[in-house]
Chain A
Amino acid sequence: MEPIRTIVSRFVWLPLDDADTDQIIPARFLKTTSRVGLGAHLFADRRGPDFPLDQPDAKGAKVIVAGRNFGCGSSREHAPWALADAGFSAIIALGIADIFRANSIKNGIVPIVVDAAFHARLAADRAAEVVIDLDKLTVSIGKDGPSAPFVLDAFSRHCLMAGVDELGLLLAQTDAISAYEKRVEAAS
């Protein structure tokens, strides 16, 4: 995973509430045994001339701005795989579902929850670039525009900024895990 410090990008305005993972990547694309190539099916059943991702200015954007409860529903990691494959590295939303949040961080997608006031400012300036700063945990509209803080726990931030692989950290705890297993087995 590539380390991320700042993201500077235009954004796709996707004013959906409860954009569930079935919409992000419909189940019929889950028969794959690979994690690459899913970007082609991102929001497959919603695509078309009116859909925000299909507008000319969506090209090259790395950020999606969505409504409440983004990524709810199924735990399929295919959702962040598809988003990352399509070039996205941050989701800004009024709310983000728990499992999707955890899956995003493991795939280099920064989950950012903003309040309604900042969301409205984004809505009012849809051609702007957003600047996401993981060091300061801020998102701003343009370099010097309005800015808002966001919450990301220290560990998730570290994982994103250092490109940390959690599996490596868990494997490094093998002795502690073995000790735990011994302790539990002795007690039962």
Chain B
Amino acid sequence: MSGQTLFAKVWDAHVVAPETAATPATLYVDLHLVHEVTSPQAFDVLRERGLRVRRPDRTVATMDHSIPTTPRPARGPQLISDPEARAQIERLERNCAEFGVKLHALGDDQQGIVHVIAPEIGLTRPGMTITCGDSHTSTHGAFGALAFGIGTSEVGYVLATQCLLQRRPKTMRATMDGAPTRGVTAKDLVLALIAKIGTAGGTGHVIEYTGSAVRAMSMEERMTVCNMTIEGGARAGMIAPDDHTYQWLAGCPEAPKGAAWERALAYWRSLQTEPGAAFDRDVTIDVSALTPMITFGTDPSTAIPIGSPVPDAGGDPSRARSLAYMGVEAGKPLLGRKVDVVFVGSCTNARLSDLRQAASVVKGRRVAPGVRMMVVAGSQQVKKHAEAEGLDQIFRDAGAEWREPGCSMCIAMNGDRLEAGQYAVSTSNRNFEGRQGQGGRTFLASPLTAAAAAVTGRITDVRELMAG
């Protein structure tokens, strides 16, 4: 077999010291993204050991996880009433000031969820290695970067040395061919993939997504797919760059310009997986056969076609527990079940196209009585563009909440959360027990399906509400 994969090309270009039987490779990190939750203890280590941030110019911070999404004052500091969250935010401000790291703080017009802002600014580019103390760093793979989440110890290593010790992972190719039918989105594709491979199916692997459906996807859709890669157990997902990628980057403030752009473009074009390149594993998804998907259980692999009955636990005690926690019955579809909250947000589905899709369903309708619909743009930029198009007005007119950018109810550590027993349809990525609030119960779905639930108050096949 000849030919190199996209992954191999990016990996090889970043090896500072090769891997041996005794030691992993030393891998260089081009871009390190930092947020308030997983960084304080890492900066402490630097301080204890008298170290500096090696490349502040390759390090960018924002605040997203623990911040409230309630209205923010036009100027002056945001009042954060939770003293712990406030202390964490202030700690990040102090750390960034002391170590010379650029911070997109509250009030900055590039603040937002870390995985939304870096691609928007043009920090995320093909062929890069990118790390962040956050498992959804896989999102950035949509640009042909090798991007993966790390723990706080490793955050400290990258701050201090710009490197990590890593064993070369295996590769998996996920081929998605065919045209999606009406109502089927990138979220549905990736939920179908995770249902197929399972939550640990990608363990030890980097997934490259290919196929006609992937080539047809916008960058935002590709980010949705790569974002969810970690829910299938793989730390990184990658998509080879193409004209969609270059067009996106051409509009970004931090993308290279002039001659540097031409040089970069030549390099980016060289990153494609070559014919005959070998993968350790192959999976395929026939996209034309898919319908909108929704999860019924407490892990993202429990996705089923929206009209299908919930499968039987089949004697698996963990599955039985998850059905009991969710209060759902095997053999019956989820369609028609009442919901309490609809959350449109998170690094999975809170970009402009996601909000447009949700708005297309909500437009001219009302959020059903008794349902709380929260719409939380992924970043200040997304929010600004959505408002310029009047999307905020569509949501507000329908009775939905239009909130400030942040992780919000995806993680429920910032005031936005489900009450015990409540049901949510959520565009986020995790339906784990208590993820969206202690005792809360989450159905994961696309922005279209979430919006359909908001206006009907029930789990609904969005295709019934779509014109044409």
Number of B residues with CB within 8 Å of any CB on chain A: 67
Q: Which residues of A contact B149 (CB under 8 A)?
A: 75, 99
Complex interface bits, A85-106 against B, C-beta within 8 A gives 1, otherwise 0 = 0000000000101110011001
A98 to B434, CA, bound (A): 22
Option from B26, B151, B317 in Cβ contact (under 8 Å) with A99: B151
Complex interface bits, A1-23 against B, C-beta within 8 A gives 1, otherwise 0 = 00000000000000111101011
A residues sitting closer than 8 Å to B (CB atoms) are: 15-18, 20, 22-23, 26-28, 30-35, 45-46, 67-69, 72-78, 80, 95, 97-99, 102-103, 106-107, 153-155, 158, 166-167, 169-171, 173-174, 176-177, 180-181, 184, 188
Option from B91, B151, B160, B439 in Cβ contact (under 8 Å) with A103: B151
Option from B40, B162, B163, B434 in Cβ contact (under 8 Å) with A45: B434
Shortest Cβ distance from B283 into chain A, in angstroms? 18
Within 8 A of A (CB), among B237-268: 263
Q: Looking across the interface, which residue of chain B has its beta carbon closest to that of A18?
A: B299
Query: Given contacts A16-B318, A32-B88, A68-B200, could you give 4 more A-B pairs where the C-beta distance is less than 8 Å?
Result: A74-B135, A167-B157, A170-B160, A177-B16
Q: Which residues of A contact B441 (CB under 8 A)?
A: none
CB-based contact B235/A99 at 8 Å: yes
Question: Given A75-B38, A75-B134, A154-B21, do A170 and B26 touch, yes or no (CB 8 Å)?
Answer: yes
Q: Which residues of A contact B161 (CB under 8 A)?
A: 167, 170-171, 173-174, 177
B199: Cβ under 8 A from any A Cβ: yes
A72 to B88, CA, bound (A): 25
Question: Given A75-B38, A99-B149, A177-B161, do A23 and B433 touch, yes or no (CB 8 Å)?
Answer: yes
Q: Which residues of A contact B154 (CB under 8 A)?
A: 102, 106
Question: Given A75-B38, A95-B200, A171-B161, do A26 and B434 touch, yes or no (CB 8 Å)?
Answer: yes
CB<8 Å pairs between A and B, sample of 25: A17-B318, A22-B432, A22-B433, A22-B435, A26-B434, A27-B435, A28-B438, A30-B65, A30-B66, A31-B82, A31-B87, A68-B200, A72-B299, A76-B151, A77-B152, A77-B153, A98-B204, A99-B235, A153-B24, A155-B22, A155-B23, A167-B156, A170-B160, A177-B26, A184-B28
Option from B165, B200, B318, B435 in Cβ contact (under 8 Å) with A155: B165
Q: Which residues of B contact A97 (CB under 8 A)?
A: 200, 203, 233
B217: Cβ under 8 A from any A Cβ: no
B413: Cβ under 8 A from any A Cβ: yes
CB-based contact A171/B233 at 8 Å: no
Q: Which residues of A contact B87 (CB under 8 A)?
A: 31, 33
CB-based contact B413/A170 at 8 Å: no
Shortest Cβ distance from A27 into chain B, in angstroms? 4
Option from A22, A31, A173 in Cβ contact (under 8 Å) with B434: A22
A61 to B91, CA, bound (A): 36
Complex interface bits, B208-240 against A, C-beta within 8 A gives 1, otherwise 0 = 000000000000000000000010011100000
Q: Which residues of A contact B150 (CB under 8 A)?
A: 75, 99, 102
A151 to B318, CA, bound (A): 26
| Interchain residue pairs A-B with the least CB separation, the first 9 | A77-B151, A31-B84, A103-B151, A17-B318, A33-B40, A75-B149, A27-B413, A69-B200, A77-B152
Question: Given A76-B38, A170-B161, do A30 and B413 touch, yes or no (CB 8 Å)?
Answer: yes
Shortest Cβ distance from A47 into chain B, in angstroms? 12
CB-based contact A15/B317 at 8 Å: yes
CB-based contact B38/A18 at 8 Å: no
Q: Looking across the interface, which residue of chain B has its beta carbon closest to that of A94?
A: B200
Q: Which residues of A contact B199 (CB under 8 A)?
A: 18, 69, 72
Q: Looking across the interface, which residue of chain A has its beta carbon closest to that of B43?
A: A33
Option from B16, B151, B413 in Cβ contact (under 8 Å) with A31: B413
Option from B28, B37, B134, B167 in Cβ contact (under 8 Å) with A180: B28
Shortest Cβ distance from A174 into chain B, in angstroms? 7
Question: Given A33-B40, A45-B433, A69-B233, do A106 and B23 touch, yes or no (CB 8 Å)?
Answer: no
CB-based contact B317/A27 at 8 Å: no
Within 8 A of A (CB), among B10-46: 16-17, 21-24, 26, 28, 37-38, 40-41, 44-45
Within 8 A of A (CB), among B47-98: 49, 51, 54, 65-66, 82, 84-85, 87-88, 91
B104: Cβ under 8 A from any A Cβ: no
Q: Which residues of A contact B298 (CB under 8 A)?
A: 18
Question: Given A45-B438, A166-B165, do A171 and B160 touch, yes or no (CB 8 Å)?
Answer: yes
Within 8 A of A (CB), among B298-317: 298-299, 316-317
